[in-house]
Chain A
Amino acid sequence: MRPAPLRILLYLVVLLLPFLTVATYHLKTEDVYFYNLGRCFAQLAFAIIVLQVVLASRLRWVERPFGLNLTFPFHRRMGTVAAVLLLLHPPLMALGGGGWHLLYGLNVEWYILVAKTALALLLVNVSLSLWRVRLGVKFEKWRLWHDILGPLVLVLAFTHSWYASEDFKVRPMQVLWVTYLAAAVWLFVYHRLIRPLQLRDHLYRVLEVKQEAPKVWTIKFAPPPGERRFDFQPGQFQFVTLFRGGGLPVEEHHFTIASSPTEAGFHASTIKESGDFTASIGRTRPGDTAAIQAPFGRFSYVFYPEARDLVFIAGGIGITPLMSNLRHLRDTKADRRVLLLYANRTESDIVFREELARMEIGTRPELRVAHILSKPGEDWQGETGHLDREKLARLVGDRLATGTFFLCCPPSMLQGLVQSLRDLEVAEARLHFEYFSL
């Protein structure tokens, strides 16, 4: 079986194994339909929460066929599904004979109070995740709370189901539930504690810090002494924790790798100062160390060997994964036709301008670059304004019918461009895009 369907099938098996176990060992109950439906929803939600840990743990075997920028949105959606199922659980139990005091009463069994607490915490957790930016919660703070609330909800939900449900008087269900909980707890501990410590035993070193444009820095990393740099494909990304001293923040962030795997002995990320953490990126110094977990992602032309005609579209610092792809195309003298549409505000915001101009002179790949500026200076001769549908159609031309598109831009720009390309009848299979953030 192909990798992606196999993993989806396994996901479904873990999700539905509680149903199969109940159906095999404890099918008949004295309870009415809605009561049983409430139970089914809760068991389904518990399995989803267990699988949330698997999806979030960056396990290479799980991530590889999809890329984290698909597994993370799936994690987000399934979290919402679990919350909806658990919200429906109490009213269904009440409707099925449990009594409406289950919903509002505090004079209930202790394990019902545990369930109410779990549900409240889950709703807080999901709300924070869905509306973090709107609620003004910083990424690091959200992540800390997500790491506390997620496992807490899991343990509380386990405790509630163990004591509240008749189904857990049956040994196979007990075994299944304990296995699920143990697997999730182990995976969480591995992901958040053990692996970070392992990575600290193999620290990369900052080789060079170079300013590319105002507020844009390239940081080159060298592998630990005596070790080889990890292998990666162009366009992939890494999780980096920088250790810089001087009171600078020690936080894990993901950055695209802007260099090409063909460049031996180092790899580099080009980072723009924006959030709290990246504001200090220019204060990184050669000799600083970094714990690195990589590579991740599938935003790479190499995964589509049949694509001979490539159209790259970058907005601002979204150029970095595309630059990695372009450098790889250049170094391997790839026989491809590439059109790069590169949108920026001003001329000084254009990163890698000279290197791109040098690449344009070569024939492998056959590269053409079109710069588009939304706030051009008076002497700017190139394209101006925003990259809208009309401009897209004109600049891409007949490649709309043949090109394979790779887009990396800020979310609002990306949404508009993807919609425009769909309107211009670019087939879904030829559309690949990456958000700035996960």
Chain B
Amino acid sequence: MEFKQLQLVTAWVIGISLVLALGLAWLRSV
């Protein structure tokens, strides 16, 4: 794995986590 791929992985990890956080917060509120 190279540096560029690491940046991509980091972006995906953050992206997936944020989307799930936003979704779960919504589910818990309705």
Q: Which of A15, A33, A34, A73 contacts B6 (CB 8 A)?
A: A73
Question: Chain B interface: which of A19-27, A266-274, A333-341?
Answer: A19-27
A431 within 8 A of B: yes
The minimal Cβ–Cβ distance linking A23 to chain B, given in whole angstroms, is 6
B3: chain A residues within 8 A (beta carbon): 70, 73, 433
Which residue in B1, B13, B25, B26 is a CB contact (below 8 Å) of A39? B25
**Chain A residues, CB < 8 A from B14:** 81
- Chain A binding surface, main DSSP class: helix
When the two chains form the complex, which single residue of B4, B9, B17, B25 contacts A33, counting CB atoms closer than 8 Å? B25
Decide yes or no whether A410 CB sits under 8 A from chain B: no
If the complex has contacts A66-B1, A70-B1, A428-B4, are A33 and B26 also in contact, measured as CB distance less than 8 A?
yes
A432 and B3 CA atoms in complex are apart in Å by 8
Q: Interface-forming stretch among A4-12, A131-139, A206-214, A242-250?
A: A4-12
Question: Once bound together, how far apart are the Cα atoms of A149 and B28, in whole Å?
Answer: 33
B window 12-30: CB within 8 A of A? 13-14, 16-17, 20-22, 24-29
Cβ of A95 within 8 Å of any chain B Cβ, yes or no, is no
The number of chain A residues with a CB under 8 A from chain B is 36
Residues of B within 8 A of A4 (CB): 1
**Chain B contacts to A: CB under 8 angstroms:** 1-4, 6, 9-10, 13-14, 16-17, 20-22, 24-29
List 6 additional contacts besides A40-B22, A81-B14, A432-B2; criterion CB under 8 Å: A31-B28, A40-B21, A70-B6, A74-B6, A428-B2, A433-B3
Instruction: Name 18 interchain pairs, CB-CB below 8 A, sorted by A.
Output: A8-B9, A8-B13, A12-B17, A16-B16, A16-B20, A19-B24, A22-B24, A29-B28, A31-B28, A32-B29, A33-B29, A36-B25, A37-B21, A44-B21, A66-B1, A73-B3, A74-B9, A428-B2
> Which of A's residues lie within 8 Å of B, judged by CB?
4, 8, 11-12, 15-16, 19, 22-23, 27-29, 31-37, 39-41, 44, 65-66, 70, 73-74, 77-78, 81, 428-429, 431-433
